[in-house]
Structure 1
Amino acid sequence: MNTADLNHLVESLVEIALTDDSKLRPGADDLILRKRKALARLQDSDSFRRLLEQAEFAERLRSLMDALREKWRDFSSQGIQRIASLDPESFMRHYLLPSVPVVLEAAASEWPAINKWCPQWFQETFGNQDVEISDHRRSDMNYEARFGAHRRTVPFGEFLERVKSDRTNDCYLVAQNKLLEKPAFERLLDDIGDLPGILDRSRKDAESVQLWLGPAGSSTPIHHDLTDGLIVQVDGRKRVILLSPYETEELQRAYRNIGRAGPGIEPIGSTTTRTIGWSGEVVLGPGDILFVPLGWWHCVENLTPCISLSMQNLVSAGYRWDHPDFRGYF
């Protein structure tokens, strides 16, 4: 709310407050005088002055964000960088601390998971285990916000048959299903390698590392995370579209009528460059790692059956964006 909105609100409140009174005293001049007096009293109150100060601060902050957004668009005109090799100091200096996304190509290619995990291996190894998935998502635009209503426990082998045969967003094993917390799957953590100086091995656990497994066409709508993190592509190919935090107001303006789940990758991918102004798009293959900084909006689509990891155990993971009553989705 800016100062003009605030003054309009105050005038509207005065109008509403005096509507019934005006029926008892139909004199127009008297009504106008009383409105002016009521408005003056309200604008002179401590509460109004505090609201006005907050509105003026919000306008200054918005102006700053507008300037930073234009600066970022100029800086990022080359898109998301892809780096073949990167030492920890350079990663910290050029990407993590300034919050710049980057793809570390094939950085996880030697991890046991990359050379072992695939839908067929999971089916042969864990097919008889029951797992929780997110199911029946196509019928609910707000499936992310109503995650609990879509939780379903199924035989892993049955789910993996759907993963291998269907192109759909109807089913997906997502981070919230907490597969790695189940005793039968804890040993999968041993197949996850390390990035010395970038990942904190002491926090390689099911709280900081989550597994995603879904068919081609499964996706995650636009959202941002509250901490810095990595997307590690284990098997298959994944498409990710990213938007800077500086695009938040433009994004909300463009999609304010979208439900809590937020727009998916197709509306973002088809309209971003026209409506939002700037976005970065990458495709990840097995062994690739994408650094997604805190607050960066992103939406994801699996181009093939995919297995991925999201990891929040970076060595400097103390940065967190806590904001009350805001879930990270529109």
Structure 2
Amino acid sequence: MPPKSSIPKTQQHFSTFDPRYFSQQIQVTSAPMTDELRRWIADNKFAGVGDRWLVQELINHGISPSAANREVTTVSQNPYFQAGQKFLQLLKKHESHASILADLASLSPQSQSIECREKISRNDFLENYYAKNVPLILTGITNNWAALSLWNPEYLKTNFGQVEIEVQSDRNSDRLYEINIEKHRQKMQMADYVDAVVKGGATNDYYMVANNGNLEKTALRGLLNDLEIFPEYLDPQDTDGKAFFWFGSGGTITPLHHDPVNLIFVQVYGRKVWQIISPHYTHMLYNYRGVFSEVDIENPDYEKYPLFQRIPIIEVTLEPGDAIFMPVGWWHAVKSLDISISMSFTNFVFPNKYDWNFPSITYT
């Protein structure tokens, strides 16, 4: 099979689904056509690549000209391929609509910023942000939190040092550490983890994240006594599995993803930079698995992911005491500028459960 191809500029396209960039390379000599080669042809046909180029690539890799021509020219008559084309047409309609909405949204002078509000009523929040799927930064909302003056690494070590916690570890060895989260779970004493965070400097190699579930599983639940859970928007009695604790070094990264529910994220200690993308651009974010984009937003590979160059990114920095409402489906990547302690909540007083169909595209 032809390798991960770099199509000549005259044949580059703007198809969203472009499997050429992540399909497994197939070794071809003079063997007959295989199903893997036929899948490669179909992938590229769906992506809009021209027949002449496909035929030449097959010939270049040892397939006879007659066999190459026959396979490329007859694939469109295959009933399985035709069925796939029907679904592709439906997908393209949704993608074109999303692109139009993105173009319209960009006309607003505020399209590259997120509104900040110090106080907002429940009805205002519901009508103008929650129901409209619009992000919002809330300032001053944590003024009565004891956590703002208490929480720091030493406080955690002194009061919870003997608690056995779970963290994500060895993240630097695996680009897909969030997807492969089960391989990175590690248990340790809070005191040891605090020492690692304080003495280890900036790193993304270990991080206590929401998926570690430490508030549910350990005595860290006592930390909830140091804060008030915004009764205007959240249900303080419904925190099981809906309140999450984050603690890590400067340099920790949560890669580009969207959440399947609405959430409020509160920065308690240190600072975090958020890079945020509207869900109108979902079809341009190479979302092949779950809720994660294939793109490394820190170092995007524009040759591999060309559509990402066209996406506007909103950047905000959360200071201690700031909170951000991140609506369901909005994409974001987060990086800690300092040692950081944060909380996030999904226990809204409004409905917050949605049915999703997540992709799981892999090639064997």
Q: So what's the TM-score if we normalise by structure 1? A: 0.79
Which residue is 1:266 aligned to? Answer: 298
- Bigger shift: residues 191-200 or 99-108: 191-200
1:238-317 matches, cutoff 5 A: 238-252=272-286, 262-267=294-299, 275-317=309-351
Q: How many angstroms apart in 2 are the aligned matches of 1:204 and 1:272? A: 41
Q: How does 1:1-330 map to 2 (within 5 A)?
A: 5=45, 42=77, 50-75=83-108, 76-165=110-199, 166-205=201-240, 207-252=241-286, 262-267=294-299, 275-326=309-360
Change (3 A) 1:61 1:272: closer
1:188 alignment partner, SS class: helix
Cα gap change, 1:39 to 1:7, in 2 (>3 Å):
farther
Greater RCO (Cα-Cα under 8 Å, separation 6 or more):
1
What SS does the corresponding residue of 2:334 show, helix, strand or coil? strand
| Contact 1:227–1:317 (Cα < 8 Å) also in 2 | no
Q: What's the CA shift for 1:78?
A: 4.4
> Shift of residue 319 of structure 1?
4.0
Q: Which runs of 5+ in 2 are unaligned?
A: 1-16, 19-41, 56-63
**Structure 2 SS opposite 1:108:** coil
Instruction: Answer whether contact 1:228 1:317 (CA < 8 A) is retained.
Output: no
For the residue of structure 2 that corresponds to 1:267, the secondary structure is coil
Q: Percent same amino acid among aligned pairs? A: 28
Query: What secondary structure does 2:233 align onto?
Result: coil
Structure 1 unaligned spans of 5+: 16-22
Aligned residues: 300
Letter aligned with residue 161 of structure 2 = G
2:94 is paired with a residue of what secondary structure?
helix
Residue 125 (structure 1) shift: 0.5
Contact 1:241–1:281 (CA under 8 A) maintained in structure 2: yes
The one-letter amino acid of 1:54's match is F
**Structure 2: distance between partners of 1:131 and 1:7:** 46
Larger mean CA deviation between 60-69 and 295-304 belongs to 60-69
Distance 2:340 2:242 in 1: 20
Q: Conserved in 2, the CA contact under 8 Å of 1:143 and 1:261?
A: no
What value does the CA root-mean-square deviation take over the aligned residues?
3.6
